[in-house]
Structure 1
Amino acid sequence: MNTNYANNGLYAPAPPQQQVEQPQFISPAQLFQQPLAPSLLSHLSQNTPSGRTLSNPASYNSSRMAPLTPANTQPDMTQLLVSLAEEYFQAAQELAPAAALSMTVADVEAYEGLIATGLGCLDTALKRIKLQPRMEANIRLRFAGVLFEETENSMEAETALSKGIALCERNHYYDLKYAMQFLLAQFMAKKNPKASMKALDGHISDAQTYQHFSWVYVFRFLRASHALESGSLTDHHAAVQNLRAVANLAKQQNDNAIHLTASLMEALAFLKIPGPESLQHVQTALAQARSYQHDESCNIPQLIGLTHILDVSCAIIKGNSVEMLTKLKDMQNMMDKALHENTWGTTNDTFAIPINRTPKSSHTVSQDTRMILGIGNDGGDNLMMTFLGKKDAYSITYLLCGMVLLHKNSSDQKGLKYLQAGLDSLEGDIRSARSSSGLLPDLVSKRQWRGEISCYFRIYMAFCCAGLANWTETKRYIDDLRTTVRKFEVSLTGPLASLALYLDGIYHQGIGDFDTALQIFGDPKLSLTTAKSTALTSADQVERDIAILATLNSLWIVQDKGLQNPDRNLSVKEKLEPVCVNHPNPDIRMAFHLVGATVPTNPPLELIEIKSRLRSALACGNTTANIHQMCICLSIMCNRFFNGVIGPQAEKSAKAASVQATRSGNTLWMSVTDGMLARCYEVQGKTQDAQASMASAQKYADQALPGV
């Protein structure tokens, strides 16, 4: 139920007030010394916050307890300890942004000291004071929630929750019992995901039997989340079944917003599995989500934004340029409207999904459970979930815009401009992180997530520059990428590692350092032999696609003089053909056909086969509107069929290649096509035109490879 980049602090207290006095460290044991020192009582009276509610596990405070007694009498120790604990937790949250940025030993230890002292206060209340049953249950839930968010001490937390669940069962506190079961399942998932999912199945069955439908939604969503994290196909199927069960129940209960959420999560689930069938399931789920676009209860900006993001992602996977641009425009319009949505904040990642309240909800949903299920202003239940903050979501949409426009790769470089704007926005948020408080693990996780997204921005910006043969700027972005990886301690694994390595190879190939390029493309991370052949996830598919591209690049490089080997060429092409001919990505199919039409083999290809490959390449290019690949394709056709030919058709072919190269903005291919056009003019006796075209070709060659 949480995003990957932050735990969201489901059990964190309410946002701190604007002015918070830094508390002194006080040992909980001091509170039981008899008699209490007047100075200590005075300090506690001054530093105990007012207006808080301990009964709210998402913002545990103490306003539901009796007010403190005057300083000259014995205070209420329960309220005293809980209030003091909240002071320490709040002070820790105030310190967390600075600690997340510096990560110095002193700052981290100060933060941990505040958290440990707050936990000590709650622990003392549980062990040394006889509490009212509901108060004890609330404190146990708060105690375990802080342990979950801030520590790895699962054993003590599980013990506290187990005792709390037993206490709730004896006293029929169904709301707190469900909340504790939810938290306990999260603890179990850290050590034994299978056990957690089995326990959740039992909770789902119980909640379904008692018709506590709001908690059925909660447990099924959590069950699906844990199943999707496992990565196995069996668990993936179980996740989809749980999400569809949520959708069916929501349809029966007329909970349209829940149905919308389940549909979007199902789309996300199928995006993890590549293939045309999965893509069809994604589109079906999105169609179900869009059916609620006119329902007022489903007018939740976060869910609408996610719908558009998934829509654009689907269009990118399909590779249809017209559909990509249409979906992109819809997403941009929606995000522009979201600027004025106050319900989608820039600092708080939590949002509420409305649920119709049933007669049995009064016993299972309360103010004490609103970190998971709260009560809305209209009296209905609210399921609390997390999504990207508004600015982070904008960063993702900027990245998608850059990726879509990279296909066009026009000389105006719109894609690069979107990527630069998104990166500037993201880095601005990182620099301003000191202004918002929160939990240190969440802030560190969010900062690392932003660092990883910054890496993707820089990779695609480097690809934009490589598309123009601007190797100086390409190198600058590669250096920025390495700096970002070190600064944010980003782990270069998976698709990010493959993209970064492939980009490095592209750069060296572009500057003519073929030996280094071949060495990089031959790295085991870019080897087709190490790619998985069955049960691919979307991440595996990306890594295999990059390996395919690296092999295609290598195959073209080794056609240089002294490296060409027709027998080896044939072997590599036969290895690539099974994974390329029917590849779902038309750009990869086109690249394979272009290589297949130009690389000599033994025996050589027949002319009809070459024409067939070029025809297939053109068809793919028309689908994706990839201007750069279309330029290469037209250049190959001109060189192969019209080199030295006199006639209007030859001149048209050369001019078409030159125009396409100009549209691409790639100076290297502009040099190639103008050179071919100059030779075409020359054989037809158009000396003046030939000289002008050759001068243009030389100028672009100097720009593409200065000094060579």
Structure 2
Amino acid sequence: MNSDYANNVFYSQPPQPLQQQVEQPQFISPAQLFQQPPAPSPLSHPSQYTSHGRTTSNSGAYNTNNMAPSISANTQPDTAMLLVALAEEYFQAAHEHAPAAALSMTVADVEAYGGLVATGLGCLDTALKHVKLQPRMEANIRLRYAGVLFEETENSMEAETALGKGIALCERNHYYDLKYAMQFLLAQFMAKKNPKASMKALDGHISDAQTYHHYSWVYVFRFLRASHALESGSPTDHHVAVQNLRAVATLASQQNDNAIYLTASLMEALAFLKMPGPDSLQHVQTALAQARSYQHDESCKIPQLVALIHILDLSCAIMKGNSMEMLTKLKEMQMMMDKALQDSSWGTASDVLAIPINRTPKSSHTVSQDTRMILGIGNDGGDNLLMTFLSKKDAYSIAYLLCGMVLLYKNSIERKGLKYLQAGLDSLEGDARSNRSSSGLLPDLVSKRQWRGEISCYFRIYMASCCAGISDWTETKRHLDALKTNLRQFEISLTGPLGHLALYFDGVYHQGIGDLDTALKIFGDTKFNLSTTKSTTLTPANQLERDLSILAALSTLWMLQAKEPKNLDQNAAMKEALEPICANHANMDIRTAFHLIAATVQTDPPIQLIDIKGRLKVALAYANTTTNVQLLCICLSIMCNRFFRGVVGPQAEKSAKAASVQATRTGNALWMSVTDGMLARCYEVQGKLQDAQATLATAQTHAERALPGL
């Protein structure tokens, strides 16, 4: 829900912002305006203000009749209008200064920004306390004043006082539009301190709006109610959130507000995507199917929402782990995103989108230009619900990241995954280094920059994964070092999935370069302690952390086989502990990895030959199903070494060649060295000495590339 109160949505802006104030702000005390009559100024003429309304509406310019009558050039400007115009100049100057301040975050820049905002607030405060105002204008100023306090400060008490007086004023004068807007803002203030009280207040507002058939505000309050409930994270509140979103969808269906129905369905899909439970993925897909039911409706052809459908659809395919489905959904998303490049309605920098609502006879009393930070009026005369979304650049960054994740399977052959990740990272880092971003609120710009910094960390992790997959440990190290730099630069804490991923790939790197002691120490970290990880009702984030813990345990078990003497009892205990966790795991690749390790780890008593064959058969079937070339290569290599080592005959040579071909498909220098080494030994046993020497030389070349200097 758009809550950009401080972005000059109540008052129009002067045509020329005070650029000199950005560099050397000069603060004027609003009280000075009462010491002498102000001189006439073109800034005081309301008709000269330019609008900051949304591009979806030509009527976004502020209606000056709601503020004060027009003032002729020969009369002194109205004091209240002058204070309002002066406040907006200060806010505009602050917002022009914000991009540079967000990039530098020096004390001087932040204080300059804060001084400009504080002076603007002082102008509005002076107007409220020392000027006799018309009721409508007073209500507007109170809403603007509280909105700036909400966006820019932590002074909730002052804002709540202003809103309380404003709501009482609106009730006396029947300003239903401003009353709803103030209730919306007050609920957001309350959510910061007491979420339960906020949700209870919203329930009351929903009931009132429903009773008076003010449906646009019913949508607004229910969406906000659902957002607050989802933020709590509790199962009970999640249920309440879904109930509210389904109530929005039901009402939207009754009112033929198809775009609202689409939005509610997508929010429901997002809600289930974040929640635990075995049926969550099915609920997500059901919600996406509901969203698609209006895909041919003109009002629903909103590129941001269409993109979100494809992003969520692809995310579901990734979570299911079906490589063919992932590639299909990926192509669909790429086609849509390519088409969106030509759509000018989705701005490169703007993160605001307008959801059309059919206008009703009662809308004229509840939706106006004064509520356009929440509900605006479109070119067609209908209402628009304004919400924040990703800008086009940020959405494409997410798309690049998803492309790289999906193409990890094919990265070994075509390196497409790494190319997509590099393109997305270049875009993110280019924006991070630039201070040319559009003006805005400093807290918002800092938050966006922080978000982009965190996303860049995920790019680095998956790029490290691509490089590790081909045994390019130099590049793996480079990306992991860059990740650590990003973490320091953006002051990101290593908690949650990001912390687990960073630590896990650090262990993978040390395992890859042969530093097994360090790798074992990393994988033995408490983050990867499976005994303390709950196995039921895991959120997707919890599931990722648990899966990484499983992979760390599997890697540990395999690395322990390089230690002498082997601890067979420990091997048996670890395998027994991992069996119930891995054997029926939802991720087929984890099942494959477990069966490969279980077939090769030595135990006492030793595993029976029939069990070895059974596990390798299952692993081979799983690897073929997921088309995971890495696991398929490992499986074929184990089979060749276990059953055809030292065997003379065409079947042995065929097995060794199959493993070598599969290793070439992976592009992994280490496994190419292993399989070519086995093929060279096979040729030697067969008496093909010339072929054996040539293949052995190739194996040594791959080994040098995988482990330089060893």
Could you state the TM-score of these two structures normalised by the residue count of structure 2? 0.95
Question: What's the offset of the Cα at 1:575?
Answer: 2.0
Q: Which residue of 2 aligns with 1:12?
A: 7
Q: Which residue of 2 aligns with 1:78?
A: 80
Q: 1:518 to 1:54 in 2, by over 3 A?
A: closer
Q: Which residue of 2 aligns with 1:414?
A: 416
Paired letter, 2:612 = I
Larger mean Cα displacement after TM superposition, 359-368 or 270-279: 270-279
Work out whether 1:21 is the aligned partner of 2:23: no
Q: Which residue of 2 aligns with 1:571?
A: 573
Work out whether 1:657 is the aligned partner of 2:655: no
Query: Alignment partner of 2:4: what SS?
Result: coil
Query: Alignment partner of 1:354: what SS?
Result: strand
On the 8 A contact 1:217/1:246 being kept in 2, the answer is yes
Work out whether 1:264 is the aligned partner of 2:266: yes
Work out whether 1:173 is the aligned partner of 2:168: no
User: 5+ residue gaps in structure 1?
Assistant: 3-7
Question: What's the offset of the Cα at 1:54?
Answer: 10
> Whole-Å Cα distance in 2 between the matches of residues 133 and 46 of structure 1?
20
> Whole-Å Cα distance in 2 between the matches of residues 624 and 382 of structure 1?
45
> Whole-Å Cα distance in 2 between the matches of residues 217 and 313 of structure 1?
27
1:120-519 matches, cutoff 5 A = 120-519=122-521
Question: What's the offset of the Cα at 1:647?
Answer: 2.1
On the 8 A contact 1:62/1:82 being kept in 2, the answer is no
Give the CA RMSD over aligned residues.
2.2
Query: Alignment partner of 1:652: what SS?
Result: helix
Paired letter, 1:13 = N
Q: 1:280 to 1:217 in 2, by over 3 A?
A: same
Q: Which residue of 2 aligns with 1:5?
A: none
Query: Alignment partner of 2:413: what SS?
Result: coil
Larger mean Cα displacement after TM superposition, 209-218 or 269-278: 269-278
Paired letter, 2:338 = D
Query: Alignment partner of 2:436: what SS?
Result: helix
Q: 1:119 to 1:60 in 2, by over 3 A?
A: farther
Number of matched pairs: 699
Question: What's the offset of the Cα at 1:490?
Answer: 2.1
Question: What's the offset of the Cα at 1:663?
Answer: 0.5
Question: What's the offset of the Cα at 1:563?
Answer: 5.5
Q: 1:146 to 1:181 in 2, by over 3 A?
A: same
> Whole-Å Cα distance in 2 between the matches of residues 197 and 151 of structure 1?
22
User: 5+ residue gaps in structure 2?
Assistant: none
Query: Alignment partner of 1:357: what SS?
Result: coil
Q: 1:67 to 1:171 in 2, by over 3 A?
A: closer
Question: What's the offset of the Cα at 1:543?
Answer: 1.1
Question: What's the offset of the Cα at 1:561?
Answer: 3.0
Give CA-to-partner distance per residue, 1:398-444, whole Å, 9 cap, x none: 00000000023323211001100111111222233424111100000
On the 8 A contact 1:50/1:63 being kept in 2, the answer is no
> Whole-Å Cα distance in 2 between the matches of residues 351 and 330 of structure 1?
23
Larger mean Cα displacement after TM superposition, 351-360 or 561-570: 561-570
Q: 1:230 to 1:403 in 2, by over 3 A?
A: same
Give CA-to-partner distance per residue, 1:192-244, whole Å, 9 cap, x none: 11111111111111111111111111111111111111111111111111111
Larger mean Cα displacement after TM superposition, 586-595 or 93-102: 586-595
On the 8 A contact 1:411/1:665 being kept in 2, the answer is yes
Give CA-to-partner distance per residue, 1:245-273, whole Å, 9 cap, x none: 11111111111111111111111111112
> Whole-Å Cα distance in 2 between the matches of residues 573 and 104 of structure 1?
54
On the 8 A contact 1:301/1:344 being kept in 2, the answer is yes
Q: 1:16 to 1:397 in 2, by over 3 A?
A: farther
Paired letter, 1:12 = N
> Whole-Å Cα distance in 2 between the matches of residues 16 and 359 of structure 1?
31
Give CA-to-partner distance per residue, 1:431-474, whole Å, 9 cap, x none: 33424111100000000111111111111111111011011111
Q: 1:11 to 1:643 in 2, by over 3 A?
A: same
Paired letter, 1:20 = P
Larger mean Cα displacement after TM superposition, 524-533 or 443-452: 524-533
Question: What's the offset of the Cα at 1:602?
Answer: 2.5
Query: Alignment partner of 2:122: what SS?
Result: helix
Q: 1:309 to 1:86 in 2, by over 3 A?
A: same
Could you state the TM-score of these two structures normalised by the residue count of structure 1? 0.95
On the 8 A contact 2:13/2:85 being kept in 1, the answer is no
Give CA-to-partner distance per residue, 1:350-372, whole Å, 9 cap, x none: 01111111111111111111111
> Whole-Å Cα distance in 2 between the matches of residues 563 and 176 of structure 1?
78
Query: Alignment partner of 2:408: what SS?
Result: helix
> Whole-Å Cα distance in 2 between the matches of residues 165 and 205 of structure 1?
17
Larger mean Cα displacement after TM superposition, 358-367 or 330-339: 358-367
Paired letter, 1:335 = M
> Whole-Å Cα distance in 1 between the matches of residues 480 and 610 of structure 2?
42
Question: What's the offset of the Cα at 1:601?
Answer: 2.1
Work out the percentage of aligned pairs sharing the same amino acid.
76
Question: What's the offset of the Cα at 1:59?
Answer: 8.1
Give CA-to-partner distance per residue, 1:667-691, whole Å, 9 cap, x none: 0000000111111222222222222
Partner of residue 41 from structure 1, selected from 14, 39, 42? 39
On the 8 A contact 1:54/1:138 being kept in 2, the answer is no
